[in-house]
């Protein structure tokens, strides 16, 4: 990304994600998020009353960051992230991740990010700041 392409108002290209049951299980295990609504369908539907397995809020936060990193390139390093989970998303639902540049400086960029369902329902929204390095810098 060049400085000119990181002006406030520039939209991040939308990235689509469809979470699999293996993704849910692996994220649960890796992050020690052990609530059964993310990997035990019988428990989720029969005991909790949800229509299917839920996609973790933190996994959706990860999707937001990944979409931003694709847009910004390999020289971008996440400096700050805040997000809020607003609505449930279920296994099998395609999610779109995107956002907009809200602040740009030579060495950093501020973004507002979101995850939404195809019907437009925003499930997760947040803000992130990335430090920008030239290719090859640490």
- DSSP states along 32-66: T---GGGT-HHIIIIIS--SSPBPPHHHHHHHHHH
Q: Please state, in angstroms and rounded to a whole number, the distance separating the CA atoms of residues 26 and 111.
A: 28
Query: Is residue 100 a contact partner of residue 11, using CB atoms and an 8 Å limit?
Result: yes
Query: Is residue 54 a contact partner of residue 90, using CB atoms and an 8 Å limit?
Result: yes
Token duo for residue 71: 């847009």
Instruction: Supply the pLDDT for residue 136.
Output: 56
Instruction: Kindly report, residue by residue over 37-80, the tens digit of the pLDDT.
Output: 999 999 999 999 999 999 999 999 999 999 999 999 988 999 99
Answer yes or no: pTM beyond 0.85: yes
Domains of the chain: 3-19+55-132 (3.10.129.10)
């Amino acid at each position: 990304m060049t400085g000119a392409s990181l002006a406030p108002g520039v939209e991040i290209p939308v990235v689509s994600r469809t979470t699999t049951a293996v993704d849910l299980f692996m994220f649960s295990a890796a992050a020690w998020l052990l609530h059964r609504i993310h990997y035990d369908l019988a428990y989720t539907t029969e005991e909790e009353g949800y229509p299917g397995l839920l996609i973790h809020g933190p996994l959706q936060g990860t999707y937001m960051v990944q979409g931003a990193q694709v847009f910004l390139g390999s020289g971008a390093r996440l400096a700050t992230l805040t997000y809020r989970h607003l609505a449930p998303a279920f296994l099998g639902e395609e999610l779109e991740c995107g956002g907009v540049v809200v602040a740009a400086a030579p060495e950093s960029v501020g973004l507002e990010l979101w995850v939404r369902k195809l019907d437009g329902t925003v499930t997760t929204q947040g803000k992130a700041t990335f430090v920008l390095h030239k290719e090859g810098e640490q």
